Each structure stands twice: as C-alpha cells, then as structure tokens.
Amino acid sequence: MEFTDANDFSELIGILKRAGRREVSYDRLAKRLGMNSPRVLAMVFKRQRAPSTGLVKSVCDYLKVTAKEREFIYWLAEKSRRELKGTPLASLDEKIDRFRAVRSMTVQPSTEIAGVKIEISPAAPETVRKKILEVLREIAFEAQPIQPSSPEGKAAE
C-alpha cells in the first residue's frame, strides 16, 4: 500500500506503521520521525488529535517526497484537522482526488492533457515514455493549479 492510498492523515500513520514485513510500534515510528512522544502519533492515528505542522513535516522528510507529494500530505493533514473541527471537506476532497488522478496517469499512444492532444510513437523507448509522462503530469498540475491550505497546528514536537 502506498502513502497516496491514504484518505486522511491518520490512515497515513497507519500505512507507515505497517510498512515492511510487520507492524512497528508507535515508539519506533516516533523515533524514525525524530519525535519525542509516541503518544502524539497514537492520538493522531486514533483521530483524537489533529496532526501538527511539525509532524506533517517529519512525515514528509521521512518519506523523501516530491513537492507535489508534500502538498498532498499537507492536504491529508488539513482534512484530518477539518474532520475534527466538523468543517466542510468538499474542496479538499477534490484536491486529493485530482492529485490521485494525475499521479495515476499513463501515457497512451494518443493522450490529451489540458486540451492538447499528444501523439506518442508506439516505438518510443520506455525511458522516453517515462520522461513524457513526467512532463505531462507537470502540465496537468499546472493547467489547474491547486494551492494547499496553509498548515495549521503547533510547532514541531
């Protein structure tokens, strides 16, 4: 399971706990994330506490994510915060769904991105196809820019 499969930040913590062959403890995961308190992770996982900006940053650093993936993780954190407060989620869910759709794009011999039809030769080497896919994903993100909500929360734990 990939971190992009998470529907909110608590699920992301669950995915990190189950990474590898067996589940790791909150204590061990907290140490990997450079945190002092495993209790904070447990509370976030159980949806008893919103993730702090410091926790979100630690998770992003631990996963070594790209800038776009970092935005996605901040959206998951914001979604968890809003769920705890009982505030609307629709616009955030749209951003998360859009990220997943663009990330799962594949290059077909004929692909349309942002209203532009791209024709790719079936004889193109795989490395060329991968580079084209990378560029097309970036174009798709730029076609309808999505700005993450400014992260709320406490300072790093």
Assigned token pair, 42: 């447990």
Beta bridge partners of 127: none
Domain ranges of the chain: 3-143
95-146 tens-digit pLDDT: 888 787 777 666 566 666 556 666 666 666 777 767 766 776 666 665 554 4
Which is higher by pLDDT, 157 or 2? 2
Q: CB–CB of 80/9 below 8 Å?
A: yes
8-51 tens-digit pLDDT: 888 888 888 887 667 788 898 889 899 988 999 899 989 999 99
Residue 53 has pLDDT above 50, yes or no: yes
DSSP 112: E
Give the pTM.
0.65
Q: Kindly report which listed range (11-20, 52-61, 78-87, 122-131) carries the lowest average pLDDT score.
A: 122-131
In one letter, which amino acid is 15? I
Q: Measured between alpha carbons, how far is 100 from 49 in angstroms, rounded to an integer? A: 26
- To the nearest 10 degrees (0 to 180), the angle between helices 38-45 and 53-63 is 90
Which is higher by pLDDT, 148 or 125? 125
